[in-house]
Amino acid sequence: MSRSYFLLISLAAAAAVMPIVEADAQGSARMRGCWGETRITHAQRIKECTAIIEAKRESRDSRVLAYVNRAIVHYEVHRSPQRALADLDAAVRLDPDAPGPYRFRARVLHEEGKTDLAIADYDQLIRITPGSGAAEFLVERALLWKFKDDRERAIADFTEAIRLNPRLSSAFGYRGRLLVDLGAFEQAVANYTEAIAAADPNAFPSPAVEAMANRGYVHFMRADFAAAAADLSAVSDESPYSRRNEMALPFHYIAQARMGKDDATLLREQAERWQRTPLIFELFLGTKTPEQVLVDAGPENYTSKCNAHFYVGQWHLLRGNRAEARERFTAATSKICEYRDITPPAAREELKRLGQ
């Protein structure tokens, strides 16, 4: 699993946590170059940032922001974490109370395998950020705790973020996912419901739709197939062209079928809309056998293979083949499938219902 999976922070977001600075005409031109606001080469951008850093007449805020922007080029363009970290260290020394350098240094440290040091940067970042402003940083630190499999500390950070900002949809959503891992499905549903209510209706992609899909999966795990089908149908209606439907619609189909409604209409319509038919759709549309699906999922793509085991298990279960279903669900919960989407916890619940 990629180390960046849990840390969804772009270095290009520097301006969001750095002060607005003022300068004369020449200084402004340099800043626009350094900030990446003009069409210049990466080498020229570094040159402009360096000029700001070395110009003693520039304000401290300008020089800190120049260090951060030069670090962006070093890391994201030249893939030089050493140079990026050197610039971010210098920015922290120049202004220990500026949040931007800590946040971006945490990302680099985490992606370079130094998650404990990244957490230490978030500790400082949270200390220097007053009130509700710290909520987003608590969420980001919680994701690092989750990466380290410290669920207790992750939940504590998500909970504190929600206390500071009760409208922070992402905190509810991430906490819901952790509660799924812990088997606390009712609490997970409640968190996803809060995430939907708190979501920005103008955001894209829609966090409300994402939370609704996740709530649908949890309803499925609880064997509340009517609620699962309702949520997942709404997801398809809200984002008909989204790749999210590659998982939402098979789950919707299975939920309906588990209630005795074998209707693949939504799968067929989605395939026509995309002008392609995803592998799992072919299983339930009857154009590929379970054996073909398992072969076509391929040994090299663990996510695809783990999902295929789960869906083939469902195919067998719908036909009353309990032994075959149990075998596939067991494969979907193997060690290599542990962090693969939502199918491993769903497979575990099916195994419980099958008496294993």
Per-residue model confidence as pLDDT tens digits over 287-318: 999 999 999 998 767 788 999 999 999 999 99
- Identify the residue whose tokens are 């209409």: 265
User: In the predicted model, is pLDDT for residue 139 greater than 90?
Assistant: yes
pLDDT score recorded for residue 244: 86
| Cβ burial, residue 142 (10 Å; 0-12/13-18/19+) | buried
What stretch of H or E contains 291? helix 290-297
Mean pLDDT to the nearest integer, 213-231: 97
CA dihedral 133, 135, 137, 139 (to 10 degrees): -160
Type of residue numbered 165: N
Give the residue, 26 or 238, on which the prediction is more confident. 238
Q: How confident is the model at residue 6 (pLDDT cuts 50, 70, 90)?
A: very low
Type of residue numbered 64: V
Rounded CA-CA distance 356/192 in Å is: 29
- Tell me the percentage of the chain whose pLDDT exceeds 90: 78
Rounded CA-CA distance 240/233 in Å is: 10
131-222 has the same fold as 1-128 = yes
Instruction: Say how far residue 341 (Cα) sits from the centre of its chain.
Output: 11
Classify domain 1-128 at the CATH class level. Answer: mainly alpha
Establish whether the linkage from the previous residue to 205 is cis, with ω within 30° of 0: yes
Q: How confident is the model at residue 1 (pLDDT cuts 50, 70, 90)?
A: very low
Closest CA to 219 of 194, 255, 247: 255
Q: How confident is the model at residue 14 (pLDDT cuts 50, 70, 90)?
A: very low
Instruction: Say how far residue 322 (Cα) sits from the centre of its chain.
Output: 34
3-state SS class at 91: helix
Q: How confident is the model at residue 58 (pLDDT cuts 50, 70, 90)?
A: confident
User: In the predicted model, is pLDDT for residue 93 greater than 80?
Assistant: yes
User: In the predicted model, is pLDDT for residue 105 greater than 60?
Assistant: yes
pLDDT score recorded for residue 12: 46
Type of residue numbered 233: S
pLDDT score recorded for residue 242: 85
Give the residue, 19 or 121, on which the prediction is more confident. 121
Residue 32 is encoded by which pair of tokens? 């626009």
Rounded CA-CA distance 253/232 in Å is: 9
List the chain domain ranges: 1-128, 131-222, 226-273, 289-356
3-state SS class at 268: helix
Best CATH choice for the domain 131-222 from the list 1.25.40.10, 3.90.1200.10, 3.90.1650.10, 3.40.140.10: 1.25.40.10
Give me the half-sphere count of Cα atoms (radius 13 Å) on the Cβ side of residue 322.
Answer: 6
Model pTM?
A: 0.88
| Cβ burial, residue 97 (10 Å; 0-12/13-18/19+) | exposed
Predicted confidence (pLDDT) per residue in 229-248, tens digit: 999 999 988 888 888 889 99
Rounded CA-CA distance 10/87 in Å is: 17
User: In the predicted model, is pLDDT for residue 339 greater than 90?
Assistant: no
Give the residue, 22 or 337, on which the prediction is more confident. 337
- For the chain, the average pLDDT equals 91
User: In the predicted model, is pLDDT for residue 177 greater than 60?
Assistant: yes
pLDDT score recorded for residue 299: 78
